[in-house]
Amino acid sequence: MPHTPVWFMRQAGRSLPEYRKVREGVGMLESCSRPELITEITLQPVRRYGVDAAIFFSDIVVPLRAVGVDLDIVPGVGPVIAAPIADWADLDRLPLLDPGAVSYVDEAVRLLVAELGATPLIGFAGAPFTLASYLVEGGPSKNHERTKAMMLGRPDLWAALLDRLADITAVFLRVQAEAGASALQLFDSWAGALAPADYVRSVMPASAKVLAAIADLGVPRIHFGVGTGELLSLMGEAGADVVGVDWRVPMAEAARRVGPDRALQGNLDPAVLFAGPEAVDAAVDDVLASAAALPGHVFNLGHGVLPDTDPGTLARVVDRVHAATVR
Amino acid sequence: MPHTPVWFMRQAGRSLPEYRKVREGVGMLESCSRPELITEITLQPVRRYGVDAAIFFSDIVVPLRAVGVDLDIVPGVGPVIAAPIADWADLDRLPLLDPGAVSYVDEAVRLLVAELGATPLIGFAGAPFTLASYLVEGGPSKNHERTKAMMLGRPDLWAALLDRLADITAVFLRVQAEAGASALQLFDSWAGALAPADYVRSVMPASAKVLAAIADLGVPRIHFGVGTGELLSLMGEAGADVVGVDWRVPMAEAARRVGPDRALQGNLDPAVLFAGPEAVDAAVDDVLASAAALPGHVFNLGHGVLPDTDPGTLARVVDRVHAATVR
């Protein structure tokens, strides 16, 4: 590429007026199951910003719903699970994912690849720990008490749950790559809540299983979680080609932790985008300077685009990254 | 001390039935302004657990209210500020703190010191950044957009706000120490949301001003924030004698970052207390092992006691730490 590539987690979403328009009257889960709508939403930020990648519009609970989990995405709350998982018998409600159950994903990816031309499409799935937290807590959780209680107090049940989720996730990612996605991002939203020893013992094996199961596809595997400064090297070792970094860790320090064999993605603080053009420019330059010596850098935010972000500010960031890194 | 000292952040609080009983029908702010009630609540966990320190029962917004800020603590939400701070004129609503305006704090500390005997009392205040976030956002915030917008976009206004808050906080801590508190904890709840460079430039000077202003009192200064793995050395350098560590950073690694001149406090994951006695025992032992080589260690949780925690589990932790570290 002639410059440092740049895209934004959640670049397709509530910050865009054209997104809010096409989502009017359409629930989140429904919007994730209609190929034309997925395609339109995924393309919107590519058209508007000229970002260097599209990220497949979906939600981490889509594969859970596809295997039959009774859940809904409640506006202002997040995913809510009708019957949380608490015991061995509950695992029966988590069968393996039949690729045919997500044919709308396959179809949307094919439509997107045809539309995108040279712009790569990044496929997307939630990681086993994050999915398990929703399933065990019954919804979003600040402290993950029930999840950690199962993880530490019932390690056999926990391991079986995560192993099942790893298999489901691997199928969901494989569908996207086989339909033409050029890269795959495994998103472990809540991994930053874990102590490193707990991550190693109780979470990393399942994430590694997912990443190993898609290794033969030959597409780069991106692995990200927010607040994961202490886990960066482990998330790389789990089998990532690119490790996502949040804004709390300077890129140069992240590179030291991850080592020279993997590229890094990140890490502008999404809240900085509210501080006015001069502050935004300075922060973009700081990220580029901190990442200057890296063997591979994909510019991104350190977490998803916040809903009240001004799209003009994101356009400014894209232009500045491109202009500053022309080779 | 004959063993590693242990106490718990938020040890006085909703997890205790005796606390819920005395708080019946009494609002949070009212409970923080009645000396007898403060004393009773502060003593409850000392009686029940035999912890090695009492932590003064208060709330970080108490000194703000004492200088006249119109605010309330809304159950299930947190502090809500009637008129958020957005410009220079708003600083007029933040005068310096007159110690006479918190005479109930002075009185409660004196009552407590008389009751506690040899058990030390730790005084308590919120740090300038965390107070500023409440004042600028108008309440609790997940992403601190407005706060960071002011911090980066209006650095002079921001610096003046933090400087004023540093002065207020220093008076509030001084009142507690002069009434007999044996140590002081500066609690920067939200500092973990900051990139290190932003912390150094825009937050650390105010925290350092607080800690310097109380240095002459000759009591140990504890400095804590959750999710502050990347800030640990800076929070020490700000002027702390003891740095609090959350559960994401192993104690041995925290010691490497903070250096040999300061003691550490921490760092059992509060969610682990839900995982059953065997898992709790193992986690306590892991913390003690990771901290074994430290020159100074105060056992604590890596964040406050969660409201649904079983008090019997906290009692078990105290007993185990004491038994394991008899010297």
Domains of chain B in sequence order: 17-324 (3.20.20.210)
pLDDT of the residue at A174: 98
The Cα–Cα gap between B309 and B14 comes to 9
DSSP state of A179: T
pLDDT per residue as tens digits for the range B169-191: 999 999 999 999 999 999 999 99
pLDDT of the residue at A97: 98
- B68 near B97, Cβ under 8 Å? no
- Percent of chain B's residues with pLDDT above 70: 100
The Cα–Cα gap between A39 and A325 comes to 30
The Cα–Cα gap between B10 and A52 comes to 47
- B149 near A274, Cβ under 8 Å? yes
Contact B195 A271 (CB under 8 A): no
- A203 near A148, Cβ under 8 Å? no
Decide: residue B249, CB within 10 A, 0-12 exposed, 13-18 middle, 19+ buried.
buried
Report the residue of chain A nearest B309, measured CA to CA.
Answer: A145
Decide: residue A262, CB within 10 A, 0-12 exposed, 13-18 middle, 19+ buried.
buried
pLDDT tier at A73, thresholds 50, 70, 90: very high
Mean pLDDT confidence for A281-303: 95
DSSP A6-52: B--TT-SSTT-HHHHHHHTT--HHHHTT-HHHHHHHHHHHHHHH--S
Which chain B residues touch A150 with a CB distance below 8 Å? 275
SS3 sequence, chain B?
A: CCCCCECCCCCCCCCCHHHHHHHCCCCHHHHCCCHHHHHHHHHHHHHHHCCCCEECCCCCCHHHHHCCCCEEEECCCEEEECCCCCCHHHHHHCCCCCHHHHHHHHHHHHHHHHHHCCCCEEEEEECHHHHHHHHHHCCCCCCCHHHHHHHHHCHHHHHHHHHHHHHHHHHHHHHHHHCCCCEEEEECCCHHHCCHHHHHHHCHHHHHHHHHHCHHHCCCEEEECCCCHHHHHHHHHCCCCEEECCCCCCHHHHHHHHCCCCEEEEEECHHHHHCCHHHHHHHHHHHHHHCCCCCCEEEEECCCCCCCCCHHHHHHHHHHHHHHCCC
pTM of the model: 0.96
- Percent of chain A's residues with pLDDT above 90: 97
**How distant, in Å, are the alpha carbons of A27, A69, A82 from that of A74?**
9, 15, 12
User: Would the pLDDT of A1 be above 80?
Assistant: no
A274–chain B nearest CA distance, Å? 5
Q: Which neighbouring-strand residues pair with A73?
A: A79
User: Would the pLDDT of B47 be above 80?
Assistant: yes
Mean pLDDT confidence for B56-73: 97
User: Would the pLDDT of B1 be above 70?
Assistant: no
pLDDT tier at A267, thresholds 50, 70, 90: very high
- B26 near B40, Cβ under 8 Å? no
- A22 near A41, Cβ under 8 Å? yes
Q: Give the HSE-up count for residue A94: Cα atoms under 13 Å, Cβ half-sphere.
A: 28
pLDDT of the residue at A327: 75
DSSP state of B97: P
The Cα–Cα gap between A296 and A284 comes to 17
Which chain B residues touch A253 with a CB distance below 8 Å? 230
A272–chain B nearest CA distance, Å? 6
Counting every residue written for chain A, the total comes to 327
pLDDT of the residue at B243: 98
Q: Sheet containing A54-55: give its strands across.
A: A54-55, A121-126, A183-187, A221-224, A242-244, A263-268, A297-301
pLDDT tier at A304, thresholds 50, 70, 90: very high
CB contacts < 8 A (A, B) = 104
pLDDT tier at B326, thresholds 50, 70, 90: confident
A300–chain B nearest CA distance, Å? 15
The Cα–Cα gap between A281 and A250 comes to 17
pLDDT per residue as tens digits for the range A194-246: 999 999 999 999 999 999 999 999 999 999 999 999 999 999 999 999 999 99
Catalytic residue numbers of B?
A: 10, 14, 23, 59, 134
**How distant, in Å, are the alpha carbons of A83, B8, B287 from that of B269?**
27, 11, 10
The Cα–Cα gap between A294 and A251 comes to 8
- Percent of chain A's residues with pLDDT above 70: 100
Contact A192 B286 (CB under 8 A): no
Report the residue of chain A nearest B151, measured CA to CA.
Answer: A275
- Structure tokens that stand for B144 in this block: 């601190």
Mean pLDDT confidence for A97-115: 98
Select the residue of A145, A192, A272 nearest B274 (Cβ to Cβ). Answer: A145
A231–chain B nearest CA distance, Å? 9
- A281 near A320, Cβ under 8 Å? yes
Which residue in A321, A325, A324 sits closest to A50, CA to CA?
A: A321
A148–chain B nearest CA distance, Å? 6
DSSP state of B113: H
Which residue in A34, A29, A53 sits closest to A43, CA to CA?
A: A53
Mean pLDDT confidence for A147-153: 98
pLDDT tier at A121, thresholds 50, 70, 90: very high
- B231 near B194, Cβ under 8 Å? yes
Contact A276 B144 (CB under 8 A): no
pLDDT of the residue at B261: 94
Strands A54-55 and A242-244: unpaired
Which chain A residues touch B229 with a CB distance below 8 Å? 229-230, 248
Report the residue of chain A nearest B251, measured CA to CA.
Answer: A195
User: Would the pLDDT of A247 be above 90?
Assistant: yes
Mean predicted lDDT score pLDDT of chain B: 97
Contact A196 B272 (CB under 8 A): no
- B221 near B176, Cβ under 8 Å? no
Mean pLDDT confidence for A27-54: 97
Residues of B with CB under 8 A from a CB of A: 143-153, 192-198, 227, 229-230, 247-250, 253, 269-272, 274-276, 278-279, 282-283, 286, 306, 308
Please state the ipTM of this predicted complex.
Answer: 0.95
Which chain B residues touch A272 with a CB distance below 8 Å? 148, 152
- B11 near B299, Cβ under 8 Å? no
**Other beta carbons less than 10 A from residue B23's beta carbon:** 17
C-alpha torsion sign, points A233, A236, A241, A246: negative
**Other beta carbons less than 10 A from residue B17's beta carbon:** 10
Mean predicted lDDT score pLDDT of chain A: 97
- Structure tokens that stand for B53 in this block: 């320190």
Report the residue of chain A nearest B302, measured CA to CA.
Answer: A195
